[in-house]
Structure 1
Amino acid sequence: MELKKLQNGSDIRGVAVDGVEGESVTLTKEAVYALARGFVAYLRKKYGKEELRIAIGHDSRISAKELKESIMQGLVDEGVQVCDCGLASTPSMFMSTVFEEFKEDGAIMITASHLPYNRNGMKFFDKDGGLNKEDIKSLITFGEQESFINKENGSVEIKDLLSVYSAFLRELIKKEVNHPNTYDKPLSGMKILVDAGNGAGGFYVDKVLQPLGADTSGSQFLEPDGMFPNHIPNPEDAKAMQSICDAVKTNHSDLGIIFDTDVDRSSAVDKYGHEISRNAIVALAAALVCEEHPGTTIVTDSVTSDELHDFLENVLQVKHLRFKRGYKNVINEAVRLNKEGIDSQLAIETSGHAALKENYFLDDGAYLATKIVIKAAKMHLEGHSLDELIKELKHPLEEKELRFKITCEDFGSYGDKVLEELKVYAEKHGEFMLAPVNHEGLRFSFDKEHGNGWCLLRKSLHDPILPCNIESNTENGCKEIAKHLYAFLKNYKELDLQAMEEFIKE
C-alpha cells in the first residue's frame, strides 16, 4: 500500500469519492485504516506506553462518515479507547488533548480544508501539537509495515467536544470583556454575523455568540453541507469574501466573521462591509497582540505586502519576519524564536491561519475570531469600532498572482535551477533589486521607472508550480514588472507561461 503518495506536508490528502472526471479515489478505506494504526504505533513509540486514548472528529465533507468508520476500526483493532467527537473543528481536536474532560493522548481530524467536495484528508495531533512533516513520514512508515499488535479490545465512546470547546471560548470572552453590568452577556447590543460556508463553523453562532447576548441575525450557510453549495469555505476566495461583505452591509452588522471548512482559518469584515483579510487580517491580529506584548516579533508567510511591513514595524512598532509559506512553517519558526529567547507571540499567514503563543501556537480560526470579538466588544462599549485599529494600514494599488506550471518530471530541481539563474540574471540587470533576506524564493523590488512595486517568485510547497506574486503602486505597474520577469523566464521551455503572456497583452 503506497501511503507516501497521500502525504501533503504535515497533512494527509487525497481523493475520497468519485464524481470528478479524471480523479480516481486515492484516500481509500484501507489507506485510512492503515494510517490510523500507524498513528497508534507512532504514539506508542513516543510515549512508551501501550494503553492509549485517541479522539476522532470530522468536518462536513460527504466522505467523512465512511472514512471515520474505517479509522475507528483501525484504532479499536489496536486496543485504543476511542473518543468519537462527531462534527468538530480541527483546533478543537487538539484541545481534546488539553481539556480535563478528555485528556486524550492523540487526536485525528478528518478534513481537507477548503478543497473540493471529492477530497478529504487527515490531520494528526499529539499533546505537543500538530504533527510535523517528519512525524507524518514516520507514521506512514509504521502504517506501511502493517506490523500491528492486534489487541482487539478497544472501545468507542461518543462525547460532545464542541460544547466543551465552545464553553472555553465563551469564558474567555466574558473574562476579557469583563464589564460589571453585562458580565454574563458581554455581547449584548452587538450584531455579529457569521459565514460558515456550510463547513463545521456554524457552532460559533449558537454555542458561542448567542449565549453571550449577540444578535446573529443575517448569519449564513451555517448548516453543514459537504457539497458546499453556496461558496467555497475559504477566507481567501473572492466570492466567499464578497458574499459576507454584502451580508454585513445588508444586515447592518457591527462585525462579520468567516471561517474555512474545518475552522482553523478565519477572517473578518468591519461594520462598513470592508473585508479584513490577507494583509489586513495579519495587521489586525498583530494589533491585538502588540497591546500586551509591545515589540514582539510577528512571523508571517513570504507574500505579505510592503505596506503591511511598514504598518507592523513603524505603526505598531513590532518586528516583522517574513518566512516561508505553509502554516506549519511559520508556526515552527515562531516556536524556534521563542526557544532562542526572542519573543514571538504570533505566527500568521495571509491565508488566515493564525497561531498565538498564548494558545499553544495552535492555528485556530475560532480563537482568532474570539480575540477579534473581545476587542470589538470593548471598543463598542467605548463608542469605537474595530476598523480604527488598522486605519493606518495602506494597500497597494494593484496586485496580481500568476502560477507557472513546470512541465518536466523533475520539477523540483528545475524550479531550483530557474531561481538560481534568476538571481545571477538580476545581478546584471539594475531594475531587479533583491531583498536582503529571502527565506523562500526570490523577492525583488522595482523603482518607479520599472513598475514601482515588488515581485516574489518561489517554488510551490507541494505542486509542480512556480507561483509569482506581484504588487505595485502605479497603474499598470504589475504588468510592467511582469514584463521584466518575462524577459528572463521566456528562455525556460519547461515553464508554462501562458498566464503571464495573456496578462502582459491585456
Structure 2
Amino acid sequence: MSNQRTPLSLCHGSDVKFGTSGVRGPVAQLSKDICQSFTQAFVSRLCREDALCVGIDLRPSSPLIAAWVIEQAQIMGMEVLDCGALPTPALAFYAMQQGLPAIMITGSHIPFDRNGMKFYLPSGEITKADEQMILTTRLDALSSSLQKGRCRHIRSDAIKRYQERYFDAFRDLNLSGKRIGVYQHSCVTRDILVEVLRKFGAEVITLGRTDHFVALDTEAVGEAEQALARKWTQQHQLDAIITTDGDGDRPLIADENGYWLRGDQVGMLTCQALQASYIATPINSNTGLEKLLPNAQIVRTKIGSPFVIEAMQRAAEHDTSLGFEANGGVLLGTDTERLKALPTRDALLPILSVISTLPTRPISAQLKVLPSRHTASTLIPSINKAKCEQLLRRLATADGWQTLLAALYAERRPEIITIDTLDGVRTQLSNGNILHIRASGNANELRIYAESDRADHCNELIKTTKEHFHSLFFDT
C-alpha cells in the first residue's frame, strides 16, 4: 500500500472535489472507497468526539452513500446518530447542540446524477483550511478500532429541535387568514415547511410535490418555475409561495403576484429585520445592501459559505453578525435575544423573516423599500474546467472584454471602470451595470451574474450575454 494514499490521491483524475460548500462529484465517481476515505480523514484528523451525526437529502443516491459513511465511522469505533432525511441546517443545529461533528449527504441544488458530502464540527461548518487537512490525510497511517461503534436512529428528535428553534424565535407571529403555498417538489423540507406554517396559523396549500428529484437552483430560476408561481398565486389567491432547494439551506420565496424574490433581496430583508450590524456576503450579492444599511459593517468575500463564515468570525463580540449569499441562504454568526448562532446556510430563518410582515403588509411592499438595484443570474451548462479557466484568463484584462461589449452594446459602448478577479471576473461599467463571470465550484458550469438599476435591463443583459457567450466563445 502506498504511503501517499489520501482522499486527494484517490480523487485524482475524477471530478470529485471540494466545491463552494462541501465535496461534490458525479454519483458514478462517488465510490465506496472515496466516500469512506473522506469520512476516515474527517473523523481521524478533525474530530475529537466519540460520536457522529449523519443526515441525507432525498436524492436517490444519498441512502447508499450514507450507509458507507456510517459503516466507516462504526469501523473507527464511533457511535453514529443516524438523523435520516432532514434539512442540512437542521442536522448542523442538532449536532452543535449535542457538541458533535456531522456529515450531511447532499448535492444541494445540483442535478440528481451528482451528489456530495458536507462536514460539520461542533462549532459549525468546516473551513477551507479544514478541507485541505482532509484532502491530505494519509489514510494508510490510520488504524481501525477494536470495537465497532453502534448506530442509533434519531431523525424525529433532530427535526423537532430545529422546528422548536423557530417556534420560539417567532412566537409572536400570527399568520391567521394568510394563504401560503408550499412548493414541495423533492426538497427535504417539504413537510417541515407545512408543519411550521400551520403552527403559526397560516392556511397552507401544498403544490408540485414529486417523486423524482428536482434540481431547483435558487440562483437560476427557470421560466417554468416563474410561470408556475404566477399561475399558483392567481389560482389559489396566495399571499406568498415558499420552498427551498433540495437540502433546505437555500430559500425561494414568491410574493402575492408570483414574483420569485432574488436570493440577495431575501438576504437584505433578513438583515434589516434582524438589525444586523456586521454582514458578510459574497461579491456577487446586490450592491444595494450598502445603501440599505449604511451603518452596518459590510465585508465582501469570495463565493461559498466557508468564505462567508471566515469573514463572520472577525465580527466584534457586540455585533449582530449575519451572512448571506446570492442564493438566499442566511447564516447567523452570533446569538441574538431569541436565536442561538447557526453559522451555516439556513432557509427557514429568511423565510420566516420575510413572511413575518404579512399580517401588516404584503411582500411586494417590502421590496419597494429596497434600493433600486436589481440582480439576475444564469448559467451555461456542460462547460469543462479548462474552457472556463481559458475564458476567465481572457476576461481578466480590459482588452478581453471588448469583443463581448461590442456585441452587447451596438451603440454607446460603455467603458470599463473596474475589473475584480477575487472570484472569477467581475467588471463594473460606466453605465452602472455590473457583469460577473465565474466557473461554478460544484459542477461543470459557467455562471453569469448581472446587476443594473432596472430589472428589465438586468434580465435582458443576462439573456444577451448568455447568447453572445455561446456564439463568441463556445460555438467556434
TM-score for the superposition, normalised by structure 2: 0.80
Partners of 1:15 and 1:62 lie apart in 2 by: 13
Residues 1:243 and 1:34: Cα distance change in structure 2 (over 3 Å): same
3-state DSSP of counterpart to 1:123: strand
Residue 15 of structure 1, aligned match among 26, 29, 32: 26
3-state DSSP of counterpart to 1:220: strand
1:369-407: per-residue Cα shift (whole Å, max 9, x none)? 23334x23xx50xx4233322213365689675759987
1:209 CA drift (Å): 1.9
Residues 1:277 and 1:462: Cα distance change in structure 2 (over 3 Å): closer
Paired position in structure 1 for 2:109: 114
Unaligned runs of 5+ in 2: 1-8, 336-340, 407-412
State how 1:365-444 maps to structure 2 within 5 Å. 365-373=347-355, 375-376=356-357, 379-380=358-359, 383-393=360-370, 401=378, 409=386, 412=389, 414=390, 417-422=393-398, 431-435=414-418, 439-444=422-427
Partners of 1:211 and 1:478 lie apart in 2 by: 37
What code does the residue aligned with 1:75 have?
A: A
Partners of 2:160 and 2:385 lie apart in 1 by: 50
Residues 1:3 and 1:132: Cα distance change in structure 2 (over 3 Å): farther
Paired position in structure 1 for 2:185: 197
Residue 265 of structure 2, aligned match among 267, 271, 280: 280
Query: Which range is displaced more, 51-60 or 272-281?
Result: 272-281
Residue 152 of structure 2 is aligned to residue 164 of structure 1: no
Residues 1:107 and 1:481: Cα distance change in structure 2 (over 3 Å): closer
Partners of 2:472 and 2:448 lie apart in 1 by: 13
Paired position in structure 2 for 1:248: 233
Unaligned runs of 5+ in 1: 17-24, 178-185, 487-495
3-state DSSP of counterpart to 2:182: strand
Paired position in structure 1 for 2:30: 27
3-state DSSP of counterpart to 1:98: helix
Q: Which has the larger radius of gyration?
A: 1
1:309 CA drift (Å): 4.3
What code does the residue aligned with 1:131 have?
A: I
What code does the residue aligned with 2:203 have?
A: D
What code does the residue aligned with 1:41 have?
A: S
What code does the residue aligned with 2:72 have?
A: G
What code does the residue aligned with 1:274 have?
A: Y
Residues 1:249 and 1:310: Cα distance change in structure 2 (over 3 Å): farther
Residues 1:346 and 1:437: Cα distance change in structure 2 (over 3 Å): farther
State how 1:103-502 maps to structure 2 within 5 Å. 103-142=98-137, 144-145=139-140, 147-159=142-154, 160=156, 161-174=158-171, 176-177=172-173, 186-216=174-204, 218-222=205-209, 225=211, 227-228=212-213, 231-236=214-219, 237-238=221-222, 239-290=224-275, 293=276, 296-306=277-287, 308-309=288-289, 311-313=291-293, 318=296, 320-336=298-314, 338-339=315-316, 343=319, 345-357=321-333, 358=335, 359-373=341-355, 375-376=356-357, 379-380=358-359, 383-393=360-370, 401=378, 409=386, 412=389, 414=390, 417-422=393-398, 431-435=414-418, 439-448=422-431, 453-458=433-438, 460-461=440-441, 467-472=447-452, 498-499=469-470, 501=472
Contact 2:266 2:350 in 1 (8 A): no
Residue 45 of structure 2, aligned match among 42, 47, 50: 42
Greater RCO structure (CA 8 Å; 6+ sep): 2
3-state DSSP of counterpart to 1:194: strand
1:119 CA drift (Å): 1.4
1:351 CA drift (Å): 1.2
Partners of 2:459 and 2:200 lie apart in 1 by: 46
Q: CA RMSD in A?
A: 3.8
Partners of 1:232 and 1:390 lie apart in 2 by: 27
Contact 2:55 2:82 in 1 (8 A): yes
1:139 CA drift (Å): 2.1
What code does the residue aligned with 2:51 have?
A: R
Report the count of equivalent residues.
444
Paired position in structure 2 for 1:53: 51
Contact 1:434 1:443 in 2 (8 A): no
Percent of residue pairs bearing the same amino acid type = 21
